[in-house]
A and B are shown apart, each in its own frame.
Chain A
């Protein structure tokens, strides 16, 4: 069985459609983030790792009544409690959150008060499945860690690109990665999902993975440049993409299938993580073809107009 054999699509010809598509999603993401920022002071919903506070996951014997639970919380003096349904309704699970405590010596009090409130004012047997209490000190530390991880990842990528490619390829690849990250994070803002530490880990993994994808296309472009220097660049780039299409779509597709399995079957705890991977792999594949390659060509044409050299650096040795 073979798909994509003899593919001959004019990718670069469609670049305006791609640009429009990317713009729509980027802008939608940015608008979502702006709205979220104006409401809550952060561009995306933050998980408890970053916003701090108390979060208790409770499973009830009977289907939970959110209003009744809120009344119970108020009756116990727990103001500002956020109560939402969690996971599938059949599980009868509810997530109860309290905002951040600044007094760290009383950190665990919130959890106890929630349990007491439920025992006292809400008649529905329950058991506590998960508790997370994050104080401001640790919250800041985790933020710092996430920041460091992101920073070092980016530095690592840049160093790697610097070794493998000339500047223009590197810039195009970085722009593609940035585009991917923006749309993925925007997707979180759009769907109201929380960003936790594991989500950041997923996004960083994605960046590495998307970089790979872009490199595959670039490798083929450079190989073809070595062989035929007379061909107009857009034609050559199209051909390179078509040649690698089979490989690109298949590898991304297979990874996507496994990640989709994780999203569907993997449970609620990993939802954010798998969502980031699902969106990221799709967008990452798309961006190698629709963002990185056209950017390469556009940059080259811009340089040609300015009168400087019109050839792209070619590969020194052959790749697949």
Chain B
């Protein structure tokens, strides 16, 4: 019996040491500051305690779909021209449905030829249907293809935002898909308090493309329309230009809707200087595939103009002096900041689609620090009150309960340290709740022991009975609360998840301390009792 007891005490001490390690790791020293530093390294604080920015962004995937169909429009036009099949226009008939493309103006003579040509090239991605009595053909992007494109867009957006966010120098940034909504991204940046800085970094990942210039510059939109017989063809668009950074008077260009190259086609970009003019330039390199396309376009269009468009506005208009393969320069009256920024934007690849901010929560660092302080104060007060009560109400056995409670907290915090779970403010509340609910188990057992003693049982028999009867109910009450916590974990927001985690860990730890540890302490105490002496309870 005694040997058994010794080994059980050894187990408890081992557990204590293991979980203390979980909390502190191996601290560099034992002063208050050293321990605090070790603690903060192990226990991962949530945004509401650290301070930081939490954003939910929506990727406007319809733009990516629209881009893809814009390209398809351009390619169909090219294909039909090359095959000498006549048509009146290829365009997107419905602005609210970017996945639809329509080919109009087919004659009975060439309808079949057109159909079979487009079938052979596009049937993988589009569903083709005749329309308008066989004088037109509609192509609708297949839902599976559309979905795949949307997912790819979101993924690309995540990677781009990640790059941008990393350049802010945030420790442990988090950019991930947000499971609650379609095409949404979660961004969490601890320690940042300047929301504007973050917004600029993310939002300036505006879409960047190079479009062929069809006409312009015009004084304003009316002028542009007038020059085009009152309406812009559906495969073209208007864009404003006011100098690189809005310094010139506003003018309007008419651009081809489909870009020659866009954001993801840029492999690298560096600021540089033009050898001849000494002007600042951005030297860029395209990917191989994009380089081929660019070469094809520029060789056929020397002397024409192209516009660098960012976020829907023209940033620069350049003439095509010679065919460009995959390296080129963007020249303009740039300042040093502008070339650096433009290079960076090109380098990290522009976003494949626009972002809408759906939710933004910023906790200032001072509030975070206050929350930690208040939470910890409440926890300490709670622990002291409970411990005092147990001592007064259960006397000697109260010491037992208090030791178990202490070990419970050590195990709980150790769990948090080992699992790298995040501690949030509700999480601290969960710790406090664990204290209250945990000591309940002790009350259960002790009350039963008291009943048995009243009924006349001897000390060790009373203790045995107390534990035997209480076990099932303890498991009962813990399981129901843990199940509640599990549901909260699945459906709760970040801070609520933290609550569910500490509550679950705490109650699980309590199953060990309230039963096993308390029992061992009782046994150790019973061993020391003289014959006929009663436990202090």
Contacts and interface: CB of A to CB of B under 8 A. Distances in A.
Interface string A162-178: 00000000000000000
A153 interface: yes
Given A198-B426, A250-B447, A264 B378 contact: yes
Contacts of A257: 382, 385-386, 389, 436
A236 interface: no
Contacts of A219: 473
Contact of A258 (B180, B361, B385, B487): B385
Given A258-B385, A262-B429, A273-B426, A105 B488 contact: no
Interface stretch (A209-217, A287-295, A306-314): A209-217
Interface residues of B, number: 72
B534 interface: no
A129 B386 contact: no
Interface stretch (A8-16, A27-35, A133-141): A133-141
A111 B473 CA distance: 51
A269 B48 CA distance: 10
A158 B393 CA distance: 36
Contacts of A261: 378-379, 381-382, 385, 432
A256 to B, nearest CB: 7
A130 B426 contact: no
A320 B484 contact: no
Contact of A216 (B366, B436, B473, B496): B473
A207 interface: yes
A134 B432 contact: no
Nearest to A317: B472
Nearest to A159: B483
Interface in A130-158: 130-135, 137-138, 141-142, 145-146, 148-149, 152-153, 156-157
Contacts of A49: 493
Which residue, of B435, B481, B484, has the highest number of chain A Cβ atoms within 10 A?
Answer: B484
Interface stretch (B139-147, B162-170, B278-286, B438-446): B438-446
B364 A137 contact: no
Contacts of B469: 318-320
Interface string B348-379: 00000000111111111011001100110111
A67 interface: no
A130 B360 CA distance: 11
Nearest to A87: B370
A135 B359 contact: yes
A90 interface: no
B8 interface: no
A107 B476 contact: no
Contacts of A1: 392-393, 395
A17 to B, nearest CB: 27
Contacts of B450: 2
A320 B448 contact: yes
A319 B477 CA distance: 12
A208 interface: yes
13 contacts: A130-B363, A135-B357, A149-B488, A160-B480, A197-B496, A204-B487, A211-B480, A251-B444, A254-B389, A255-B433, A261-B432, A264-B381, A269-B425
B246 interface: no
B197 to A, nearest CB: 13
Contact of A246 (B385, B395, B447): B447
B485 interface: yes
B495 interface: yes
B440 to A, nearest CB: 4
A189 to B, nearest CB: 22
Nearest to A219: B473
Contacts of B488: 149, 201, 204-205
Contact of A267 (B58, B375, B485): B375
Nearest to A318: B469
Interface string B481-523: 1011101101111011001100100000000000000000000
A199 B477 CA distance: 22
Given A205-B503, A261-B378, A266-B429, A133 B386 contact: no
B433 A277 contact: yes
Which residue, of A127, A146, A149, has the highest number of chain B Cβ atoms within 10 A?
Answer: A149
Chief secondary structure at chain B's binding surface: helix
Contact of A259 (B181, B361, B432, B448): B432
B199 interface: yes
A210 to B, nearest CB: 10
A138 B433 CA distance: 30
Contacts of B484: 153, 156, 204-205, 207-208
B397 to A, nearest CB: 12
B491 A145 contact: yes
Interface string B178-202: 0011000000000000011001000
A1 B172 CA distance: 52
Contact of A138 (B48, B359, B375, B503): B359
Interface string B414-454: 00000000000110110011011101100110011010000
A121 interface: no
A241 B159 CA distance: 61
Nearest to A164: B476
A255 B483 contact: no
Given A135-B356, A251-B440, 6 more contacts: A157-B480, A160-B480, A212-B480, A258-B435, A266-B432, A267-B371
Contact of A133 (B360, B439, B476): B360
Contacts of B472: 319-320
A266 B374 contact: yes
A265 B381 contact: yes
Nearest to B395: A1
Which residue, of A198, A251, A258, A267, has the highest number of chain B Cβ atoms within 10 A?
Answer: A258
A128 interface: yes
B443 A254 contact: yes
Contact of B473 (A138, A197, A267, A320): A320
Contacts of B58: 104, 137
A152 B367 contact: no
Contacts of A51: none
Contact of A131 (B360, B378, B385, B503): B360
Contact of A156 (B360, B392, B476, B483): B483
B372 to A, nearest CB: 10
B187 to A, nearest CB: 13
B470 interface: yes
Given A104-B58, A130-B367, A212 B487 contact: no
Contacts of B103: none
B206 interface: no
B269 interface: no
A137 B358 contact: yes
B360 A107 contact: yes
B377 A265 contact: yes
